[in-house]
C-alpha cells in the first residue's frame, strides 16, 4: 500500500479496521481546494484491502472533478467499507453505526451520502453518530435515493452525445444497452423507454433480472456479452473500470454514456475510445445529477424544479466539452480533465493568495 499512497496526488487517506465485522474502512480525501471533502460511502467486498483503498482514491479524484465540473463549493473525497466475503448481514447496523461515530471523531473532515452498496436507510444509521450525511430517507428529513436524479442527468447527457454524434437529439429508435439495472440504471431505463429508445439491459442479480424482464419486457444480455452487443449507446451504470484494453476492442457502439463512476480503467482508455471514434461522455460530468440533487436540496435550499433544471444543464456542459475537444483535437476525456483541473487550480491559487 505504500507505493499506492506515495504515487497518489491526493491529500490524505484515513483508515480503520473494524474488528467486530472484519471490515476495512478507508476514507480518501483527494482535494479540498474547492471545499469540504464530500462523496459517497461505498460498501462492498474487494479482493484485498489494497484494492479497496485504490478504489477509494480513484473515486475521490472523480469527486474532485465532479464538484469542479458543476461548480459546487465542495472537495473530492470518498469512503469505502470493504466488508469480508462472508459478511453477516446482522453486522450491518453495528458497522454503519461505528462508521458514523468514527466520522464524528474525525471532526467532520469528510461528509458523505449513498453510493454503490449503500441506501438511504444506511445513511440514517450513520447519521446517528454524525451530522454530515446526505440522502437520508424523507421521513427522517433527508431527500432519499439520489438515483433517479443521477439518471435524469445521464439521460440529458445521452441526448447531448447523440446530438453530437448523429447530429440529432431525437432519441426515437436509438438502441441503448444499459449495464446494471440498479438505483441509476432502472430509472434511466424508464426515461429511455419514454423517449422511444430500444433498450436492452444486463445485470448480475438474478432477482433484479427477473423483475426488469417481467415489468418492462426488456431483452436481457448476458454480462459477458454486454461489450460486444451492437447498439448506438452503451450506458455503463454498474461498477467502474469496465472500459479497458480488453473491453474497448469489443465495443460495437457509437457512444459510451452512462452513470457509473470511474468507468475508464486508466487514462489511456479514454484515448483508446477516442482512437476508435467512440464518443465518450466523461463519467464525472454525466453522472453529477445525484450530487447536484443532494447538495442543492439538502444544503442549498433549492426547490425541486430549480434542481431539475440544473441537472438538465449537464447537457450543455457536455456539449461544451465536446466542442472544446473537437477544437483542440483532443479526446473528450482530456477536455473534461482540463476543464475540471483548471477550476481546481484556480481555486487553490486563490486560497493561496488569500493566506
Ligand atoms: N455517490 C453519488 C455520487 O458519486 C452521490 C453522492 C453525491 C453522495 C454527493 C454523497 C455526496 O455522485
For the stretch 80-127, pLDDT in tens is 999 999 999 999 999 999 999 999 999 999 999 999 999 999 999 999
Let me know how long the chain is: 355
Predicted pLDDT of residue 66: 96
The response to whether residue 263 sits with its C-beta less than 6 Å from ligand 1 reads no
Rounded distance from Cα 36 to ligand 1 centre (Å): 14
Helix (H) or strand (E) holding 198: strand 198-202
Rounded distance from Cα 170 to ligand 1 centre (Å): 29
Q: CA 16, 18, 23 angle in degrees (round to 5)?
A: 95
Q: Is the pLDDT confidence value at 350 over 90?
A: no
The response to whether residue 72 sits with its C-beta less than 6 Å from ligand 1 reads no
DSSP annotation of 270 reads H
Name the active-site residue from 78, 172, 186, 200.
78
The response to whether residue 64 sits with its C-beta less than 6 Å from ligand 1 reads no
The response to whether residue 265 sits with its C-beta less than 6 Å from ligand 1 reads no
Atom of ligand 1 nearest to the CA of 261: 4
Whose Cα sits closest to atom 4 in ligand 1? 40
The response to whether residue 41 sits with its C-beta less than 6 Å from ligand 1 reads no
Query: What are the residues whose beta carbons fall under 8 Å from the beta carbon of 187, sequence distance 6 or more?
Result: 147, 148, 151, 152
> Is residue 243 within 8 Å of 250, Cβ to Cβ?
no
Is the sign of the CA dihedral 297, 332, 339, 65 positive or negative?
positive
Atom of ligand 1 nearest to the CA of 291: 7
What 3 state SS string does 184-208 have? CHHHHHHHHHHCCCEEEEECCCHHH
The response to whether residue 59 sits with its C-beta less than 6 Å from ligand 1 reads no
> Is residue 255 within 8 Å of 234, Cβ to Cβ?
yes
Mean pLDDT lowest among 216-220, 264-268, 311-315, 347-351: 347-351
In angstroms and rounded to an integer, the radius of gyration of the C-alpha atoms of the chain is: 19
For the stretch 130-158, pLDDT in tens is 999 999 999 998 999 999 999 999 999 99
Residue 78 among the catalytic residues: yes
Atom of ligand 1 nearest to the CA of 288: 12
Strands in 23-31's sheet, in edge-to-edge order, are: 12-18, 23-31, 75-82, 37-44, 110-114
For the stretch 182-223, pLDDT in tens is 999 999 999 999 999 999 999 999 999 999 999 999 999 999
Rounded distance from Cα 250 to ligand 1 centre (Å): 30
Predicted pLDDT of residue 355: 62
> Is residue 177 within 8 Å of 235, Cβ to Cβ?
yes
Rounded distance from Cα 12 to ligand 1 centre (Å): 19
For the stretch 243-280, pLDDT in tens is 999 999 999 999 999 999 999 999 899 999 999 999 99
For the stretch 68-86, pLDDT in tens is 999 999 999 999 999 999 9
**Mean pLDDT score, 229-243:** 96
Q: CA 59, 76, 122 angle in degrees (round to 5)?
A: 70
For the stretch 285-299, pLDDT in tens is 999 999 999 999 999
Whose Cα sits closest to atom 7 in ligand 1? 291
Predicted pLDDT of residue 169: 86
pTM tops 0.95: no
Rounded distance from Cα 253 to ligand 1 centre (Å): 28
The response to whether residue 77 sits with its C-beta less than 6 Å from ligand 1 reads no
The response to whether residue 23 sits with its C-beta less than 6 Å from ligand 1 reads no
Amino acid at each position: 500500500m505504500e507505493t499506492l499512497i506515495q504515487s497518489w496526488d491526493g491529500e490524505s487517506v484515513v483508515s480503520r479496521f473494524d474488528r467486530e465485522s472484519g471490515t476495512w474502512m478507508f476514507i480518501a480525501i483527494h482535494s479540498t481546494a474547492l471545499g469540504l471533502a464530500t462523496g459517497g460511502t461505498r460498501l462492498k467486498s474487494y479482493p484485498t484491502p489494497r484494492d479497496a483503498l485504490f478504489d477509494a482514491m480513484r473515486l475521490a479524484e472523480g469527486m474532485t472533478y465532479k464538484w469542479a465540473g458543476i461548480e459546487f463549493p465542495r472537495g473530492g473525497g470518498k469512503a469505502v467499507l470493504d466488508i469480508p466475503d462472508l459478511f453477516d448481514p446482522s453486522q450491518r447496523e453495528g458497522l454503519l453505526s461505528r462508521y458514523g461515530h468514527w466520522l464524528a471523531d474525525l471532526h467532520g473532515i469528510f461528509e458523505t451520502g449513498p453510493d454503490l452498496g449503500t441506501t438511504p436507510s444506511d445513511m440514517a444509521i450513520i447519521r446517528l453518530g454524525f451530522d454530515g450525511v446526505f440522502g437520508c430517507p424523507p421521513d427522517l428529513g433527508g431527500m432519499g435515493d439520489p438515483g433517479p436524479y443521477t439518471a435524469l442527468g445521464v439521460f440529458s447527457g445521452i441526448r447531448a452525445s447523440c446530438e453530437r454524434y448523429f447530429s440529432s437529439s431525437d432519441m426515437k429508435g436509438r438502441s441503448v444497452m444499459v449495464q446494471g439495472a440498479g438505483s441509476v440504471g432502472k430509472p434511466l431505463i424508464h426515461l429511455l423507454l419514454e423517449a422511444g429508445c430500444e433498450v436492452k439491459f444486463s445485470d448480475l442479480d438474478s432477482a433484479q433480472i427477473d423483475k426488469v424482464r417481467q415489468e418492462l419486457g426488456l431483452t436481457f444480455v448476458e454480462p459477458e456479452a454486454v461489450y460486444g452487443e451492437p447498439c448506438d449507446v452503451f450506458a455503463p451504470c454498474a461498477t467502474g473500470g469496465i472500459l479497458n484494453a480488453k473491453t474497448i476492442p469489443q465495443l460495437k457502439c457509437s457512444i459510451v454514456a452512462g452513470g457509473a463512476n470511474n468507468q475508464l480503467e486508466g487514462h489511456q482508455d479514454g484515448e483508446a475510445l477516442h482512437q476508435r471514434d467512440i464518443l465518450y461522455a466523461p463519467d464525472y460530468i454525466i453522472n453529477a445529477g445525484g450530487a447536484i440533487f443532494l447538495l442543492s436540496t439538502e444544503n442549498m435550499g433549492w426547490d425541486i424544479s430549480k434542481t431539475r433544471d440544473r441537472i438538465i444543464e449537464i447537457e450543455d456542459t457536455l456539449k461544451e466539452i465536446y466542442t472544446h475537444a473537437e477544437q483542440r483535437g483532443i479526446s473528450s476525456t482530456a477536455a473534461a480533465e482540463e476543464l475540471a483541473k483548471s477550476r481546481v487550480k484556480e481555486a487553490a491559487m486563490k486560497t493561496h493568495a488569500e493566506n
